[in-house]
Amino acid sequence: MLFSSIPFLYYFLPIVLILYFIAPKLLKNSVLLLSSLVFYAWGEPKYIFLMIATVLSGYALGLLIEKFRGKVLSKIFLALAVLIDLGALAYFKYADFFIENFNAVTGLSVPLLKIALPIGISFYTFQILSYNIDVFRGTVRAQRNPINLATYVALFPQLIAGPIVRYKDIETQLTERKHSFEKASDGIRRFIIGLSKKIILANTLGELCDIFMQSGDKSVAFYWLFAISYMLQIYFDFSGYSDMAIGLGKILGFEFMENFNYPFISSSITEFWRRWHISLGTWFRDYVYIPMGGNRVGKLRLLINIFTVWFLTGFWHGAEWTFAIWGLYFGVFLTIEKFFLTDFLKKNKIISHIYTFFLVAISFVLFSSGDIKTAVSYIGGLFGAGNAPLVSNEFLYYLKSYGTVILIGIIGATPLPKKALGKLSEKGRFKKAWDIIEIPLLVLLLIVSTAYLADGSFNPFLYFRF
């Protein structure tokens, strides 16, 4: 089930909220758990057993890791937890990728397994892993109540699209969380804004990206229009889902971490990754990069650490070489910045913003490509390869058709609207007016988003790839 769907918005969510708020405190997690299992089973009923099995193994191993902490057995149980979780992820997400590459190298024809990818497995696997690792480190105590742990893993707001919520961040909230009208209203506001970003902006920009991919009249300008549109599409899609997850969490009394912080205003690739998919970046930092030694090692080891982490970051996104190359691409420029460019970028802000935009745009063209051949073709097209004309009639037509949405997207991807609204809110007269029009405006956004959905408009689910 998708947040951006009529069944979720007008059937599932209202019923869940009614049941949740009428349930006594002792049963609220049970209501959330059962609701989350229904939410997950809606699209993939058979894989609900995989998630339950993963949760139960994480629960049992967490108890054993804590019981024998400081002893060899604790390390053995942690290793077993990592093996089970990453083994399941490797089998369901990467098995056919490894077989294809094995066949390509050896010339054999080992049949593919053709396994359907369980939605959200990359997210909930990382959550269970972080829980077991934190229990091993002594950062958190093992959860004694299996329903509480299962609720943490399966919680439907963040189950299939993140952010990657760590157990230690919501450990207390699982048993003691506060509900208030103010918190719920903030959550509703955040959810509607996220829904609008996804439906009105991301989906509309996605239509343009699809048109480009199917076009036979590509020009250099059209390639760049695609690059910018895809950057904005994936940003509003990712951040929109994160907004919806954070908003739903607030309604239910949870506080989830922010996952995006205006990444396109960055003046370096390093800053970009501090602002983009924050929960993923910090997960790899805390559970891979730092345990490998981080930057407290020699230069050669530091390079190994950086490229290992960024290869894994890219590969986490999907079983394609383009994703791995995408991760290594960022690893290259992060390394260059670390050793050579930091001072220059700090002193030359205009150049640093252009540099960052340019590299990020190319990176997402690579990210959008299903294979290396397409990636080379698209990136080459940005620079006129293949005798692509500078401008074409098709580019001019679609620039005119989608230009307004792109402009709104560019402005909306910056802090300008929020800052402008904040400054105006300081003025008494405007604040009173805003208090009056805010609710009707949010209702209007919900109605428009619903109309897009009811019309059967373009509504892709990017997370099937992850």
Euclidean distance between CA atoms 426 and 439, whole angstroms: 19
Number of residues in the chain: 466
Euclidean distance between CA atoms 326 and 349, whole angstroms: 25
The reply to whether omega before 163 is within 30° of 0 (cis) is yes
Euclidean distance between CA atoms 62 and 44, whole angstroms: 27
Closest among 416, 29, 418, 403 to 232, alpha carbons compared: 403
Q: Which residues contact 439 (CB under 8 A, 6 or more apart)?
A: none
- Active-site choice (179, 277, 317, 353): 317
Residue 134 and residue 36 in contact, taking contact as beta carbons nearer than 8 Å: no
For the record, the structure tokens of 234 come out as 């994936």
Backbone dihedral region of 258: left (phi > 0), alpha (psi from -120 to 50 degrees) or beta? beta
Write down the residue that tokens 């050793």 correspond to. 339
Q: For residue 172, give the H/E element and its range.
A: none
277 is catalytic: no
Q: Which residues contact 193 (CB under 8 A, 6 or more apart)?
A: 243, 247, 442, 445
Helices (H), 287-392: 299-316, 321-336, 342-347, 349-368, 372-382
Query: What residues are annotated to the active site?
Result: 317
